[in-house]
A and B are shown apart, each in its own frame.
Chain A
Amino acid sequence: MFTSVDDVSARLAETGYLASPAVATTVFLADRLGKPLLVEGPAGVGKTELAKAVAQVAGARLIRLQCYEGVDESRALYEWNHAKQLLRISAGRDESWDETRTDIFGEEFLLPRPLLTAIRGDDPKVLLIDETDKADVEVEGLLLEVLSDFQVTVPELGTVTATRRPFVVLTSNATRELSEALRRRCLFLHIGFPDAELERRIVRLRVPGIDAALAESVVRVVGALRAMDLRKVPSVAETIDWARTLLALGAATLDETVVRDSLGVILKHQDDIQKAAAKLDLDAV
């Protein structure tokens, strides 16, 4: 898919995703070694975006499995279409039992869910397993077979093995420690907050029309906020939101009033706002 790490950065940048060297290297390795990629990091640093960007670059279909508490086999892997099976049975009343039985457990009555979909077929695919930590531990067991051998066993049909391996991205916010077995099958990537230079570029790319000097001050203030001990430090998504807000307000430069009035865009807790205001020497908010 990619020829070099620089190639990864360049092509991801074309889709509007500016990758840090760490991200580009790991994506390149995941592609070359054919291993799934486990991405961890705070909310809003572009974990899900990464999968979308890779899909766009590779011209692949993005298949997404959104995990939540209680997601199970029939939501993740496959399900039999019971209604259709019943219709089939009642449509062929005259048939013998053997004919009917083999018939209703065929491809036609199978409802493939994301994991199975990602494995079947020859077109390139990117499988995104989002917020893996939200799923129950049992689902991780389910993922093991898929992620290590890229195959799924359906008792009535046999084992389906991928003819073309999908590029797999798992994301996690680390609300729960994923099992060692799952981690061992993946390449690990922690996306932290980008450095100032990269963040400036991200802001200027995502908020076209913003003045270079304003982008720089925005990134500087956000950097200072991240160094404070806040309950929820602002993420890249908040930086972009703030830049958009400032643009909409028509602020050409940052000054005390503007920052004070728009601090709520980047900080989501009242405690945090007060603390930040005190540290930035703003008047009472």
Chain B
Amino acid sequence: MSAVADADLAARLTGLVDALRSHGVRIGTGETVDAARAVEVLGLADRELLREGLAATLLRGAAQRPVFDAVFDLYFPRRVGAPEGEPGGRDDLRERLAAALADDDAGLMGRLAVEAVDGFGGYGSSPASDGWSSHRTLERLRPQTLLARVRDEVRGRDGGAGFGDRLLEDEIRRRIEEFRRMVAVEARRRVAERRGRDEIARRAVAPTADRVDFLFAGQDRLAELRRSVQPLARKLATRLAARRRRAARGSIDLRRTLRGSLSTGGVPMRPVLRRRRPARPELVLLCDVSGSVSGFSDFTMLLVQALHDQFAKVRVFAFVNRVDEVTGLLVRGAADAEGLGTRIRDEATLTGWHGSSDYGMALGEFAERYADAVGPRTTVFVLGDARTNMGDPNLAAVRELVRRARRVHWLNPEQRSRWGTGDSAAPEYAELVEMHECRNVRQLNALVGRLLPV
């Protein structure tokens, strides 16, 4: 390999590493050197081998893989420039796509994605504002409408008999989803060629799931998060146990130390530590489950439920503008996490005359009806964005809550800079209770590990 090519490769590799770092993947210099050695050993002939080799040397966890794949596609693209040849018409492309879907031919689907972006994805005409859009491509091509046609075609081929037939639709749906992903990758690559890779790698690659804002996470991202509840809970339980062990080593017990010192002639050789009474703390969760923050509440409820054996008692209350206990729903709901939110909104009485959230009403009702849930051993977590829809924030109820409970924490899924804007009563509440910004799983993980009582 020539020196120029070597230098280019090194620059490309460090660019890739930089882009990954900007997405929160921690990579040291040692790993980068390893990656370069991997490139040397594997060569550049096979792109997929290169991808796996770099992933093995640079990544430290499976959760980082989606980000890596997207960034890799930008720095080591399959091809450069526009495809050769005249792009076919829309109907022709749909025709060929249907055939590819029916055959489950991933290679052909990839080539069609390239053609599709080239043919239908371009927008703008001036060099400063033009680009390529996957959304536009898919809007024109509408691959999802091919479902019925592809299904009939495959059925016609094997006669539609057999057990596999009932799986067919879902399989085709997954193939179409795969094609959409290919189009997105290709559109990103074309844009990156025009605007510069580094910028696109930073901005246009979706972050890892634990850094997605709860408030902006789509359905699929939330499902991904729900699946991560169990492993996360296991890790938190280990951390809590460690904190509990440390906390058990308390201050010196003077009486027992002196008693022990008698055997050494009154010289205290071994200090005896006061043993803490093993009191498992109680936890109360007060969750806003109105539409705007429901993703956040659902996730946190599931997490706390998964941690329930760490506490003497966990009680969960949900509110929109009225409050109701949902502990029972949650215990049964752990198996079917997907439908949890819907079931809570269906089965619990959460709304009065209107459907928008009202913190003042809900907190007041909680203080009134469930006063016995909160005692000197209870730690209360309030989850919500503190947007009262212009209603009275009812600070007196919060003061009462703070007085009765051991600690009160408020987790707010909104960005700190937005607290107090519009109808947010966050600053008022924050004066009374500790309010923490909790925008994504990463923050929640850190907060829960730190704030949960031991």
Contacts and interface: CB of A to CB of B under 8 A. Distances in A.
A229 B60 CA distance: 26
A188 B61 contact: yes
Contact of A253 (B37, B163, B336): B163
A189 to B, nearest CB: 6
Interface stretch (B50-58, B188-196, B395-403): B50-58
A259 B167 CA distance: 13
B62 A190 contact: yes
Contact of B42 (A25, A184, A221): A25
Contact of A187 (B48, B57, B167): B57
A224 B171 contact: yes
B41 A32 contact: yes
Contacts of A183: 60-61
Contact of B28 (A21, A184, A254): A184
A29 B53 contact: yes
Contacts of A229: 223, 227, 337-338
B60 A25 contact: no
Interface in B46-74: 46, 48-49, 52-53, 55-57, 59-62, 65
Contact of B162 (A177, A227, A253): A253
B56 A40 contact: no
B369 interface: no
Given A176-B234, A188-B61, A25 B52 contact: yes
Nearest to B60: A183
Contact of B170 (A30, A33, A41, A227): A227
A247 B260 CA distance: 71
A215 to B, nearest CB: 12
A220 B52 contact: no
A254 B166 contact: no
B56 A187 contact: yes
B26 A29 contact: no
A184 to B, nearest CB: 7
Contacts of A220: 164, 167, 171
Nearest to B31: A184
A163 interface: no
Contacts of A28: 41-42
Interface string A71-105: 00000000000000000000000000000000000
Chain B CB count within 10 A is highest, among A175, A176, A188, for A188
A29 B30 CA distance: 15
A192 B174 CA distance: 18
A176 B42 contact: no
Nearest to B223: A229
Contact of B41 (A33, A40, A174): A33
Contacts of B53: 25-26, 29
A8 to B, nearest CB: 11
B163 to A, nearest CB: 4
Contacts of A25: 42, 49, 52-53, 56
A123 interface: no
A26 B54 CA distance: 9
Contact of A254 (B31, B34, B163, B231): B163
Nearest to A196: B104
Contact of A188 (B59, B171, B174, B235): B59
Chain A CB count within 10 A is highest, among B65, B223, B335, B337, for B335
Given A175-B234, A176-B235, A220-B171, A29 B56 contact: yes
Contacts of A224: 167, 170-171
Given A33-B38, A184-B31, A21 B52 contact: yes
Given A229-B223, A253-B162, A35 B59 contact: no
B164 A217 contact: yes
Interface size class of A (residues with CB under 8 A): 35 or more
Interface string B1-45: 000000000000000000000000010101100100110011000
A281 B238 contact: no
B41 A221 contact: no
Interface string A45-83: 000000000000000000000000000000000000000
Given A26-B56, A33-B41, A221-B167, A190 B65 contact: yes
B167 A33 contact: no
A36 to B, nearest CB: 12
A271 B334 CA distance: 11
A25 B39 CA distance: 11
A22 B164 contact: no
Contacts of B55: 22, 188
A220 B174 CA distance: 13
A8 B73 CA distance: 26
Nearest to B234: A175
A177 B37 CA distance: 27
A280 interface: yes
Contacts of A189: 56
A283 interface: no
A115 to B, nearest CB: 23
A229 B37 CA distance: 40
A53 to B, nearest CB: 18
A253 B165 CA distance: 13
A231 interface: yes
A35 B34 contact: yes
A5 B42 CA distance: 8
25 contacts: A21-B48, A22-B52, A25-B42, A26-B53, A28-B42, A29-B38, A29-B42, A29-B56, A32-B41, A33-B34, A33-B38, A183-B61, A184-B60, A187-B56, A188-B56, A188-B61, A221-B163, A221-B167, A223-B171, A224-B171, A229-B223, A253-B162, A253-B163, A254-B162, A254-B163
The 9 closest A-B pairs by CB, nearest first: A254-B163, A25-B52, A190-B62, A26-B56, A22-B52, A187-B56, A183-B60, A224-B167, A271-B335
Given A33-B41, A216-B164, 7 more contacts: A188-B61, A190-B61, A221-B163, A223-B167, A229-B337, A229-B338, A255-B163
